Chains A and B, each alone.
Chain A
Amino acid sequence: MTQQGVRWTADQVLALAPDVASRKAGSKLGAAGPWSEAGSADEGTVWGLCKGSGSKPYQTVIDIADASGPAYKCSCPSRKFPCKHALGLLLLWAEGDGAVPPGSPPDWAEQWIKGRRQRTEEKRTADASGSSSGSGDPEAARRRAERRAMRVTAGATELEQRLADLLRGGLAGAEQAGYGLWEETAARMVDAQAPGLAARVRELGAIPASGPGWPVRLLEECALLHLLDQGWLGRERLPNGLADTVRSRIGLPASADGPPVRDRWLVLAQYDTADVKLTTRRIWLHGADSGRTALLLSYGAAGRAPELALPVGLALEAEVSAYPGAGQLRAALGEQFAPPAPAAIRPPGVTTAEATARYGEALRDDPWLDSVPVTLDRVVPTPDGNSWQLADADADSALPLTPAARARPGLWRLVALSGGAPVKVFGECGHRGFTPLTAWPDGAGEAVQLC
């Protein structure tokens, strides 16, 4: 048909919604909502007028071809992003030509798109010319980095002291000391500009209340924290890759300066985790040609959705650059050559034994790793007492699910999809067990999101 080719599916559109309420409101506006003069253009623009409660209809435009994900503009007063009108319009567009016929954009849409494309262009040329000049004086930057390293060293040394004190008195005392002790230590690590250490310390505080077996978990985490401290203090003696890993675990800024890899990247999973201050979105990608797995991270202020949204099941032709560190999967999305489009690619899978072996291998590069992304081939979700496991269809071995995964509604979607038959499951495999994120049925069928 056109260059934009296949329209998205409704699920993929709904994955852009910032929260459940918008998702609902958007889906109501999608089906035969009060839309008029809607249309779409070949270069990836969708527009329409939506009758709201006021006298003047809202003007909604979406640019789905943008390299950094879709861009939205709507004349409604909502602060949600994208607003329900944008979601509704995309849903309408996803349904087909009937409601949103191809055409040329009206003036109001044209203006916005032109302005936007122009700004992007300007920014790109500015970036290209600005990168050579760098951010000010390199000598000053080096001094800043040195000062920060000294602070981190002081923080790590202090943390070592506190860990030694803790072990001298015994972990049993940690249960009584409660959360306050850890909060205070975490605050000291923030002062030392080591956010990675601060986050780990804060997590330590929650372990004594996490149920049976907590002393084991607390010792493990204390030991790994000690290992990280030691890694930082002795970083000059570490191989380069491992030293980079230590730096990123400590929380020092790094830039994705790995060589860009161009590939057809399939979106395997997208999910958000939120804490008090921050919503973190993780997007797992699978390179159809390179076979690589990459992790994109995107952040939003608490309660707001991160801007980058890549619906599961789409594939995008793009460049991806890795962050420094041995075995580092985190990457940054570079140039996009075509808008994301639905694809029938499935990642190749492994057995459960190979999955655990992969985790073991990965620990060699990064001993602080909690899990690795793995696609399991031909596994059957199997009840095991109060718990569940993914059992190899052709062998007598199985991976237990993590306690968190057992409590999610996605588990039942997985069980229903399987119906006792083998399925392909992508997820994270680690020392706590396996967390399923996406599944494909044995026969034909789309990817089913489990998270």
Chain B
Amino acid sequence: MNSPSVPVDSPAPGAWEELVTAALLGTDRRTPPGCAPGREAPVALLDAAAMETVRRRAGLRPTRAAPRPQPAPEDPRPALPSAAARRLAMLLADRPGTAGGGRRGTAPDLMELLPQWLATANDRGYAPPSQALPALLDAARGRTDLRPAALTFAGPRAVWLARLNPDWRFALRATPGGGAALPHLEDAGEVQQLWQEGLFAERVALLSAIRAREPVAARELLATTWATERAEDRLMFLDSLRTGLGPQDEPFLEQALADRSRNVRATAAELLSALPGSALAARMAARAEACVALDHTQQAPTIGVEAPHQCDAGMERDGVVANAPAGRGERSWWFGQLVEATPLSTWPGRLGGRTPEEIVALPVTDDWQGELHAAWCRAAVRQRDAEWARALLGSPSAPEAGGPGAVSLAERAKLLGTLGAAERAEWVAGFIATHGLSEAFQLLGVCAVPWAPPLGRAVVDALNIARDAGSYPWSFSGVMGLAERCLDPAEASRLDGLLAVPDEPEDASPGAGGYWAEAFQRLVTTLRLRAAMIEELDQDSPSGV
């Protein structure tokens, strides 16, 4: 136990064990070998033990080698530039929770920059330094949101390493097929075998992989076993058809509308309604058109709404949910679902050849406006229709936040998602210029990083105004944190004027000026750090050479 290696040439085997036994029991009870009993026995025992100890230690030899581990697979990616490798070590050394106190001070939050660093490094296609892998895996273990990017960056050696340490087992799970690679998709036999015999997760991964390359082949593969799959599996498989959805999927989806499971039916209907040319879309359009018409009895053109009086079997088959949630009228519930699933291109024809903008501007009779516009929003998101989204969003500077009354912030954020990055940024910039930052957090979240110049300027101006208004910076901590991560580092110089502690106006919150200066300092430091990070990753001198 004590000696890790085996002593050789022991002249008197067992002599040491005899000494240990005698020592354990005491020389009064047991006379050590080769010693006279009596007063001198303990000293003789110690002499012999000292000799034996040194002899045993001097005689240590290496043990037999255990089977060597399989060598880790090669990582073909180029090594990180050395400055970037050091930055990574620094980001990984910064663990949350170890910093004292709750106040953040002027130092940047390094852990928050790790996702951006990983994304950039993955984008440039670098391999990590091997010795950084344990810290990288530990970081990914603690934060699930980091895992995909961290594991992509960590590469094949991390999977090799994770097999040796149970703490990192998650890395094996996260790799498709539990570390076993997918078969070559060209090999029809292997694909068939995995599809027939694989575990559920493996089959989903296989189907998604094929769907991404050859949408038709994936659907056909699914069709071969569709009838024998369990309901919850059917739902997941059907969901993977979302990628590469096209008109050629319609017959299969139509057939799924008659599925035994209600969830499968609903998903099939949803997918079909996203295909404007589908028969389901046409059926929905016919139903919706029956409910919405121009009301000619009014003086100005007005939209009149007559919600459906019943939910018939045909509607149910097309995915309309008959039972309204508590607190909602049945008829408006059905009406919303019909409009949502109707191709938006139906409406100009139905409503006198008007453009989406004109249609959205039309008054609606009997308080139906909220219901109708909300359904159009959902349709615009589902059909990814930028023109309608633009019309529904309206001007960002309109008094009730631009959009029609019923449009919530969450819906606006979704509508923005259908627009191009530049247009999105511009709309949010306009919104912030008018309405300030208090409502902007969710909208900022859908904007492309780094923020476009007009958006960045709008956020900085709004922060400046908030400071001058005398509130505390932590009322804006969410936006501040986003700004640290998303503002273009090139904007850092524009912030210089904000770093000084301003004179306190009389009505300001006490000490706020100092805290703002601190917050802006942190913002600037973080931006500089991000600029340095990106620059380091763009150098092309690899480390370790």
Contact = CB atoms under 8 A, between A and B. Distances in A.
Interface residues of B, number: 78
A217 B20 CA distance: 10
A317 interface: no
A8 to B, nearest CB: 11
A244 to B, nearest CB: 18
Interface string A104-116: 0000000000000
Interface string B50-64: 101110111111111
Nearest to A393: B68
A380 interface: yes
B490 to A, nearest CB: 14
Contacts of B164: 383, 415
Contact of A441 (B26, B94, B105, B130): B130
A32 B20 contact: no
B23 A356 contact: no
Contacts of A11: 86, 89
A249 B415 CA distance: 78
Nearest to B79: A445
A403 to B, nearest CB: 9
A222 B46 contact: yes
A338 interface: no
Q: Which of A29, A31, A163 gathers the greatest number of chain B CB atoms within 10 Å?
A: A31
A24 B94 contact: yes
Given A167-B42, A215-B20, A360-B60, A420 B532 contact: no
Interface in A204-243: 212-213, 215-220, 222-224, 226-227
A173 B23 CA distance: 10
B24 interface: yes
A216 B86 CA distance: 46
Contacts of A95: 83
A203 B287 CA distance: 88
Contact of A421 (B3, B45, B71, B83): B71
B133 interface: yes
Interface stretch (B106-114, B256-264, B380-388, B467-475): B106-114
Nearest to B61: A356
B49 A220 contact: yes
B44 to A, nearest CB: 10
Given A169-B26, A420-B71, A31 B130 contact: no
A219 to B, nearest CB: 5
Interface range, A side: 35 or more
A431 interface: yes
A83 B190 CA distance: 62
B326 interface: no
Contacts of B62: 352-353, 355-356, 392, 397-399
Given A168-B27, A215-B20, A28 B544 contact: no
Nearest to B70: A420
Contacts of A380: 68-69
Interface stretch (B429-437, B451-459, B521-529): B521-529
A446 B544 contact: yes
A9 interface: yes
B509 to A, nearest CB: 19
Nearest to B55: A363
A391 interface: yes
A164 interface: yes
A169 B525 contact: no
Contacts of A172: 24-26
A151 interface: no
Contact of A34 (B83, B131, B525): B525
Contact of B49 (A33, A222, A399, A419): A222
A448 B131 contact: yes
B86 A213 contact: no
B63 A397 contact: yes
Contacts of A217: 2
Contacts of B5: 356, 399-400
A27 interface: yes
Contacts of B41: 167-168
Nearest to A217: B2
A48 B131 CA distance: 33
A138 to B, nearest CB: 37
Contacts of B45: 167
A417 interface: yes
B534 to A, nearest CB: 12
B4 A444 contact: no
Contacts of A222: 23, 46, 49
A431 B6 CA distance: 11
B111 to A, nearest CB: 11
B49 A28 contact: no
B86 A9 contact: yes
A367 B131 contact: no
Nearest to A413: B131
A169 B28 contact: yes
Interface in A342-371: 352-353, 355-356, 359-360, 363-364, 367
Interface string A19-39: 011011101110111100000
Contacts, number: 227
Given A27-B93, A433-B4, A223 B49 contact: yes
Given A224-B50, A383-B66, A419-B157, A167 B23 contact: yes
Contacts of A21: 98, 100
Nearest to A430: B57
A11 B272 CA distance: 58
Contact of B63 (A167, A227, A389, A415): A389
A170 B529 contact: no
Q: Which of A21, A412, A416, A441 gathers the greatest number of chain B CB atoms within 10 Å?
A: A416
A384 interface: yes
Contact of B24 (A170, A389, A416, A441): A170
Interface in A1-52: 9-11, 20-21, 23-25, 27-29, 31-34, 51
Contact of A163 (B42, B87, B100): B42
Contacts of A220: 2, 49, 53
A168 B26 CA distance: 5
Interface string A153-171: 0000000100111111111
Nearest to B3: A431
A356 B99 CA distance: 44
Nearest to A369: B57
A248 interface: no
A275 interface: no
A421 B160 CA distance: 13
B165 interface: yes
Interface in B365-393: none
Contact of B134 (A355, A384, A413, A446): A413
Interface string B126-160: 00001111100000000000000000000001001
A383 B69 contact: yes
B470 to A, nearest CB: 21
A396 interface: yes
Nearest to B66: A384
A360 to B, nearest CB: 4
Given A360-B60, A416-B133, A216 B2 contact: yes
Interface of A: 9-11, 20-21, 23-25, 27-29, 31-34, 51, 53, 95, 160, 163-173, 212-213, 215-220, 222-224, 226-227, 352-353, 355-356, 359-360, 363-364, 367, 380, 382-385, 389, 391-392, 395-400, 409, 412-413, 415-417, 419-421, 431-433, 441, 444-446, 448
Given A172-B24, A441-B130, 19 more contacts: A24-B93, A32-B531, A34-B106, A51-B521, A167-B23, A168-B27, A170-B26, A216-B20, A219-B53, A222-B23, A226-B50, A356-B60, A392-B62, A399-B63, A400-B5, A415-B164, A416-B130, A421-B72, A446-B543
Q: Which 3 A-B pairs have the closest CB atoms?
A: A170-B26, A32-B528, A419-B72
Interface of B: 1-5, 19-20, 23-29, 41-43, 45-47, 49-50, 52-54, 56-72, 82-83, 86-87, 89-90, 93-94, 98-100, 105-108, 110, 130-134, 157, 160-161, 164-165, 518, 521, 525, 528-529, 531-532, 543-545
